[in-house]
Structure 1
Amino acid sequence: MGLFLLAGFLYVVSLSWPSFLGVWLAMEAAGLIVLTGFFTVSNLVNRYVGLLGAVIASGVGSGMLFLGILNEDLAYLLFLSILLKVGMFPFVGWVVVVLVNSPWVVLYFMSCVSKISLVYFSSYLSFVSLDSVLVFYFFSFVVLVFILLNGLYDFKMLFAISSISTGCLLVTFLVGAGVEEVLKFLGVYLVFSFVFLLMISGINVGYAGADKTVISVFTLLGVPFSVGILYKFVGSYTLLNMGIYFVLVWVIYSCLEFMLIGVWLFEKSAVVEVW
């Protein structure tokens, strides 16, 4: 666990680094530390699929990021790198496969904590228009909704998809909102994702228990006071300045995600069979 705390520290410290090279090195060091979790954390996952996908994604993303910063003519590579790191279209399927084949703690750091360092690049994305972001944003959510309705098979995939949806908002905020708004949203999301992880990671396939189900539902979905509602509200409120289309897509997706979380939690408490 000490290694993961070090990785988290590096992600946070990268925001205050005086040079891009320092930020890049801190991000890479943190990413490599997190990858050790594929071998140090015991879990029933196809770790080699997840590890291979993570290594390739990290290498490709870091290379594009480095080239995009150093060469203004290749600035679009910076934007593509960030799309890859958060799992937006056209990289949704790739990132989902990596995340669902990762141990829980690795999943959390790759999909949630690593987003902290992306705030640094807000000032580098001034060349990207919100209209361009909207295209990737829309198609990302189309793919996510399709997976939710047709390919969802466990809570780990649900968590992975939720993290990618947050990445879509984060990229939008990096382009169209101030750093202060990005940090507020990211802070709320990190709390929500940690609580979400605690609630679902211990629920095995089959019987969840009525008491645990009630606690999980009220903690994640309770209206109006729950971390889930707070997270969705902050995201929606910040999106208001981006345009109605961003808000509409987010609200539709959020309603579907909450419905599936609630249904799955209650089904876990109602059946004792493997499904």
Structure 2
Amino acid sequence: MNLFINVLLVLVLSWFLLFSGDILIFWLLVELVSLCLIPCFFNTCSNINFEGVTSYILAVSVSSILILVGVVYAEFFYFFLLGFMIKFGIFPFFGWVYKVFVSSQSWLIVWLLSSVTKISMMYIFYFVSNLNGMLIGFVVLLSMIWLSILFWLVSHNWYVVWCHMMLSSSAILFYLMFFISFNDFVSMFIIYFFWSSRVMIYLSGSMSIYGYILWLVSFPFSLALCYKIYMGYLVLSLGLIISVSWFLYSLFEQLYLIKWLVSMKVPKVLWHSLAKVY
């Protein structure tokens, strides 16, 4: 019952912050959402790893202070951006996200952090849409390079794999706010929210091969492919370097997912029989 109330509060507050007319009220609602997430760690995790909880509390506390400074003092507005970069796990501030995902071992918490807390991006859009995003672009470029490497070096469970995928999407969504129209951003976010939510349902369930192809691998007629195509269309407006880095990351991601599908789902007897034929 307590878990249901906490999750409901996170959802309701995340919705309300979109209609907050004052930026200080917005900041207050964002922090209330972050605070309501903390009890979820204790209600969903049978063996609580306090390192993950501590990392989360530290990250949201630092980001909260930076955001407030940026809100109160106009000359320090870039602290506002820095605070949300920490909150969303944008490079190089994504270490805490891995700790939380792996230590919580809860797809509910992962969903809340991956999808629900990102709703605030639609409010932030109005404050950053006219800013120069050159520095953010450099950060996104480093994110794509680093996550491409991590996908093949550190992917020992699905919490880590999804963290790679979520962080790449967060970085691109954050950068898109500087360049595209609000309607395009809302459309992109809705698609991301639905896709990420369906992936969470799939990963927390039986993980059938059909669901894997539909939600994760960019095969024809899969939702993952629709998501990639629309994001790719918007990414092209970000310039050649960012576009190439995102496409290369997507290639590494899909190669890894296909490799896992082949190595885990195709019976080894089939490979032996094919070897004998050829």
TM-score (norm 1): 0.89
Equivalent in the alignment of 1:267: 263
Further displaced range: 188-197 or 123-132: 123-132
State how far apart, in whole Å, the 1-side matches of 2:261 and 2:21 are. 46
SS of the aligned residue for 1:177 comes to coil
How far off is 1:127 after superposition?
6.4
1-structure distance, mates of 2:19, 2:117: 15
Distance 1:34 1:12 in 2: 15
Paired position in structure 2 for 1:249: 245
Within a 5 Å distance, the mapping from 1:13-92 to structure 2 comes to 13-43=16-46, 47-92=49-94
Q: Percent identity?
A: 23
Q: Deviations over 1:20-68 (max 9, x none)?
A: 1221121111111122111111356x53111101100000011101111
Count residues with an aligned counterpart.
264
Q: Distance in 2 between matches of 1:201 and 1:71?
A: 43
The 10-residue stretch of structure 1 (20-29 or 123-132) with the greater mean CA deviation from structure 2:
123-132
After superposition, what is the alpha-carbon deviation per residue over 1:62-99, rounded to whole angstroms, capped at 9, x for unaligned?
11011111112211111111211221111122322222
RMSD: 2.0
Q: Which has the larger radius of gyration?
A: 2
Where in structure 1 are there 5+ consecutive unaligned residues?
A: none
Q: CA deviation at 1:271?
A: 7.4
Q: Paired residue for 1:109?
A: 112
**Would the alpha carbon gap of residues 222 and 131 (structure 1) be closer, same or farther in structure 2, given more than 3 Å must change?**
closer
Q: Distance in 2 between matches of 1:35 and 1:179?
A: 31
Amino acid at match of 1:227: L
What letter matches 2:85 in structure 1? L
Contact (CA 8 Å) 1:65, 1:77: kept in 2 or not? yes
Structure 1 CA distance for aligned equivalents of residues 213 and 88 of structure 2:
27
CA offsets, 1:173-204, max 9 Å, x none? 1111222221111110111111111222335x
Moved more, 188-197 or 35-44: 35-44
Per the TM alignment, residue 262 of structure 1 is displaced from its structure 2 partner at its CA by 2.7
* AA in 2 matched with 1:28: E
Structure 2, unmatched stretches of 5+, are 269-278
- The code of the aligned residue for 2:234 comes to T
